[in-house]
Structure 1
Amino acid sequence: MYSSGNPTNIANPIKDATFQVDIKTVSGRLNLYQTTLCERLRWDLLDSNVNPDPFGYLDTYNKNDIQLICCQADASTLWLVPRVVRTRLIQSLEWNTDMEIFFTWILSRDRPKGKEVVKYEKTVDPQYLPTQSDVQMVLNGSINSFRIYNVYPRYFRLTGSGDVRPLEEDISVSADLIINREQFEWWAFQDINRSNLSGLCGGLKGPMAVIISEETPPQGILGDTLSKFSIWGLYITFVLAVGRFIRLQCSDLRMRIPFENLPSCDRLIAICEDIYAARAEGELGVEEVLYWTLVKIYRSPHMLLEYTKPD
Structure 2
Amino acid sequence: MSKILVIAEHLDGKLNPSTARAVSAAVAVKSEAVDVLVLSDKVGPLAAEAAKIEGVSHVLTIARVENAHPLAAILAPQIAKAAAGYSHVLAPSTTFGKDVAPRVAALLGVAQVSDVMSVEGSHAFKRPIYAGNAIINVEADPSHAVVATIRTASWPAANSGNNSAPIEALNVEMNLPTHTRFVELKQGKSDRPDLQSANKVVSGGRGVGSKENFEIIYKLADKIGAAVGASRAAVDAGYVPNELQVGQTGKIIAPELYVAIGISGAIQHLTGIKDAGTIVAINKDAEAPIFEIADIGLVGDLFKLIPELEQAIG
Tell me the TM-score normalised to structure 2 length. 0.22
**Max radius of gyration: which structure?**
1
Q: Indicate the structure whose relative CO is greater, using CA pairs within 8 Å and at least 6 residues apart.
A: 1
